[in-house]
Amino acid sequence: MTIMQKAAEHNSTRAITGILCYGSGQFLQALEGDRHAVNALYRQIIKDPRHSECQVLSVEEIPARDFAEWSMKIVDWNDSVTADRESMLLKHAGSRHFDPSHMSASQAGAFLSDLAAMERLLTE
């Protein structure tokens, strides 16, 4: 079972939605859902030995989900770099290299929202 299949199965039963972008050994993820369900999932993530140096950038109440259509949208940055995506990353991170460790919480959130909008355009 792939990570995407496992996340989709696990998250859909817990009404968790989100997006995960990865590239160059770095990951950036947004999780949405009931506070207890998201906290439980995060505890599982940080206990998994495949993960290291996990950091929470932001926790907030939101009026509506940004990624409601995905139990977990996974984007491989290395497979999907285009001029538009590079420009979007430069706008939010000040760099053309995907490295979320240098993003603030607001930069990361805006980046993932714009990335989701680009992904939606690809499926229309």
- Residue range 10-31, pLDDT digits in tens: 898 999 999 999 998 899 999 9
Average pLDDT, rounded, for the chain: 90
- What dihedral do alpha carbons 86, 5, 60, 91 form, nearest 10°? 0
Q: Does the predicted TM-score (pTM) go above 0.95?
A: no
CA distances from 96 to 50, 52, 57 (A): 26, 24, 21
Tokens of 16: 């968790």
CB atoms within 10 A of CB 18: 24
Question: Structural domains in the chain?
Answer: 3-123 (3.30.70.100)
The Cα 48–Cα 3 span in angstroms is 13
pLDDT band at 48 (very low <50, low <70, confident <90, very high): confident
pLDDT at site 50 = 85
